Amino acid sequence: MDRYDLVVIGGGPGGYVAAIRAAQLKMKVALVEKEKALGGTCLNVGCIPSKVLLEATENYHKTKSVFGEMGIFCSEAKMDLIKLMERKEKVVRELTDGIAILMKKNGVKVFNGTGTILSPGNVKVSSSDEDKEIEAEKILIAFGSVPIELPFLPFDHKIVIDSTDALNIQKVPEKMVIIGAGAIGLELGSVYSRLGSSVTFIELLPRIAPFADEQSSKMLFRYLSAQGMAFKLESKVVKGEVKQEKALLTICDAKGKEEVLECDKVLVSVGRKSNNKNQGLEKLGVALNEKGMIKVDETLQTSIKNIYAVGDCIERGPMLAHKSSEEGVFAVEKMAGLEPHINYNAIPNVVYTSPELAQVGITEEEAKNRGLKVKTGKSYYKANGRAKSLCEEDGFIKVVASEEDNKLLGLHIVGPKASELIHQGALCIEYGGTFTDIANMCHAHPTLSEAVKEACLNVEKRAIHG
């Protein structure tokens, strides 16, 4: 029987990154993945393919609107969905092939099959060809997550679809309803809206992107509404059925008023859940919380010695690919006796709509709920020269800082390239910096990043352009 220092179960951004780092630390590593391609949900049916669709459809939208302001006219612009899907698959294939090469380069043995933990030192790999058992000194669980299904509206993957289905567009639906206005729903709704669908969101809470800073959420709501997307907030779907290739949804608002919506597609995007079901963890003795997520300690070790877990399947941190990767590195470095570090407060969160929404740290509301005294500063893209040159003036930047010691507590951005600009805040929070650290730093001109500096300056009402 083959024996390894570490067996990683799950080849997503938590698992494959952990495997590479463990190999760098001279461990003998095996990686078990049930899908043919490595990369997990993020690379195969999540982060990467969705960004290909978002980028293409945003450029398509700009050719019909914004580009005219620049003197560029594309009267014959059209979207070739077949070509777009081919490009999406090409990008995914190149990246998954790249991960396979990295496995070989780092000497990681990849087993294609379903991994089951038989005991703390033994893993069974089941494939269509054979079952094989391998021994492991340590095991890392990286099962990932799956979309949550509504019990009264199960996925049929034709009319009632999940996020994976939504990435394989064959025909643009005339009417689409999206249940849930979180990051995934907003992004995919943007794609369909740009392609010509009439998109309506049903959101149980009083605002979209409910995890975000309240002002950021409200601002994004205005911009997306102006783009033609409709939102029914404080509403829920109480009944759903499919008839004659159409979905009929009964919606109930906060006042108890009901209405029926008919649509061609329903995208259920109410969140994701840990992919721990039917993995035999309870029988093994791995402790789970009430939601079925794996409990881990500060080293990311489970209740069973030498079995660790990372990513979407654990009860710690947000369900984000980059968070999973950081945890993968952290876990194996702990195994190796190093002293790694993760600051969950410094993990950025992004919604890739247009404009983008990005944030890191805590919101002003969270700070006040914790009893912290804060001060804020804002700047608006309209005053930024680079934003004007790009014809992308929508949005703002908001800084939340401690009144006591000036420490940067949060950075919140709605606007172009927010996903890139947010890392100024992440770096500052990671190293315990103050808003004045960014305010005093010389930023190149003209750049969008100057707007971050302006927001920091404005905490003390000394912004130059605002």
Residue 346 in tokens: 């410094």
Show the domains of the chain with their CATH numbers.
3-146+273-342 (3.50.50.60), 160-270 (3.50.50.60), 346-460 (3.30.390.30)
Segments of 404-455 assigned E as strands: 408-415
CA distance 295 to 289: 6
Stretches in the chain below the pLDDT threshold 70 = none
* Active-site annotation holder among 61, 322, 423, 445: 445
Burial of 362 (0-12, 13-18, 19+ CB in 10 A): buried
Q: What is the pLDDT of residue 280?
A: 84
* Phi, then psi, of 58 in degrees rounded to 5: -65, -40
pLDDT for residue 157 = 97
Looking at residue 65, its pLDDT comes to 86
Residues 6 or more apart whose CB falls under 8 angstroms from that of 466 comprise 378, 379, 380, 383, 454, 458
Query: DSSP characters for 315-346?
Result: SSS-S-HHHHHHHHHHHHHHHTT------GGG
Cβ contacts of 289 within 8 Å, gap of 6 or more: 295, 315
pLDDT score recorded for residue 278: 80
| Report field, pTM of the whole predicted structure over 0.85 | yes
Using alpha carbons, select from 205, 217, 231 the residue that is nearest to residue 395. 217
Strand-strand pairing, 131-141 and 307-309: parallel
Active site residue 445: yes
What CA–CA distance (Å, rounded) separates 227 from 92? 29
Judging by beta carbons within 10 Å of its beta carbon (0-12, 13-18, 19+), is residue 282 exposed, middle or buried?
exposed
pLDDT of residue 137: 98
CB 4 within 8 A of CB 111: no
pLDDT of residue 77: 87
What stretches of 195-320 show up as alpha helix (H) in DSSP?
214-226, 281-284
Q: Which of 166, 208, 204, 213 is nearest to 183 (CA)?
A: 208
Determine the pLDDT at residue 75: 75
